[in-house]
Structure 1
Amino acid sequence: MARRKRTSQVLEKAVRRAASINSINPTLNLGNGLTLPAFSTLIETMRTRENLYNTALSNLDKLYQEMLQTERELADMAEHMLLGVATQYGKSSVEYGMAGGVPKNQRRKGLRGESPVSNLQQPSFIADVNGNGSKNGNQNGNKAATTS
C-alpha cells in the first residue's frame, strides 16, 4: 500500500489569501517584513518542500516494493540452495544439517491419530473438572450440601 501523500490546508488557505491581497495592491507592504512578495516567496517555498516530501514518499514506496521483491527472490534461492545440498548429500547427511535443514533421521515422528497434547500428563485442575479425584462425587471438588 502506498504511503499517503501530504496536502497542506495552510498552503491552500495562504494561496487564496495571497490572491485576495493581490487584488487589493500587488506591492502591499504592511511593515515588519509583511509584504506580498515575501508572502508569495514563502508560499512557493512551502509548495516546493511539500512536493519534495511527496516525491520522497513515492521513492520510498518504490524502494520498499523493490526490497520486498528481492526478499522473495532471496527466500526462493535459499530454499533452492538447501534443496541442492539435499540432492547432492542427502537429507540425512551432516552437510544438510550444516546448511540449515533438519536431517531426516533427526525429525520427531508422532504416532498417527495421537495429538501432541495427549502425550502430556493431564494437569490436576483438569482432572478435578473431569470428576477424577473429586471429593464426595461432586465434580467441582466441594463437599456436597447435606439436607436433613
Structure 2
Amino acid sequence: MPYKKKQSTILTKCRERAMNLQVIHPNLDLGNGLTMKTYQAAIDTHQANLDNYNRAISTITELALSFEESDKMLRDINERMLLGVGAVYGKDSKEYGTAGGKRKSEVVQARSRARSNPTAQKSTVPTKA
C-alpha cells in the first residue's frame, strides 16, 4: 500500500528557465522584486517542500506497512489464544465463553430450537379471504 510520491513539473520548468535567464544576465533584476536571487530562492524553497513531502510519504508508507503486519500478527495471536483456551478447558467450558468464544452448547441450542420449531421461521401474515 505505498503512497505515491509527488513530482513537480513546475519545478522542472523553473529550473530550466532559471538556467536560460542566467545566460541573459547572471544577476538579472527586472524590478518589483523579480531578481534571479528571489527566483532561485523560490525554486529552492519549493524543492525543499517537495523533498520534505516525499520523505513524509516514505515514512507514512513504512508505518502503514508496519501497522498492517502488526495487525495480522495480533489477529493470529488473538485467534490462537482462544483456540488455546478451547484446547485446555474445552469448547463448552465457561472459561471458553469468558475468553470470547461461543460455547458449543449455546451453538447446538440455537440450531436445535430452529429445527424443532419450523413454524417460527415462516411468516404468519394473515391472508385476505
TM-score after normalising by structure 1 = 0.73
Q: Which runs of 5+ in 2 are unaligned?
A: none
Is 1:121 the counterpart of 2:115 in the alignment? no
Q: Alignment identity in percent? A: 35
1:102 is matched with 102
Distance 1:119 1:66 in 2: 49
Task: Quote how far apart the aligned CAs of 1:69 are.
Answer: 0.4
> Whose helix fraction is larger, Structure 1's or Structure 2's?
2
| Deviation by residue 1:27-64 (Cα, 9 ceiling, x = unmatched) | 01112221101111111111111011011101111110
State the Cα RMSD in Å.
2.4
Is 1:75 the counterpart of 2:75 in the alignment? yes
Task: Quote how far apart the aligned CAs of 1:122 are.
Answer: 4.8
Distance 1:2 1:84 in 2: 36
Letter in 1 for 2:121: L
Distance 2:44 2:102 in 1: 62
Distance 1:58 1:109 in 2: 51
Higher relative contact order (CA 8 A, sep 6+): 2
Distance 1:69 1:80 in 2: 17
Task: Quote how far apart the aligned CAs of 1:119 are.
Answer: 6.6
1:45-64 correspondence runs (5 A): 45-64=45-64
Task: Quote how far apart the aligned CAs of 1:120 are.
Answer: 2.8
Count of matched residue positions in the alignment of Structure 1 and Structure 2: 125
Letter in 1 for 2:15: V
Task: Quote how far apart the aligned CAs of 1:14 are.
Answer: 1.1
**SS in structure 1 at match of 2:84:** helix
Larger radius of gyration: 1
Q: Which runs of 5+ in 1 are unaligned?
A: 125-132, 136-148
Task: Quote how far apart the aligned CAs of 1:121 are.
Answer: 1.7
Distance 1:78 1:93 in 2: 18
| Deviation by residue 1:96-135 (Cα, 9 ceiling, x = unmatched) | 111110001000326xxx9xxx9732586xxxxxxxx799
Letter in 2 for 1:18: A
Distance 1:28 1:95 in 2: 81
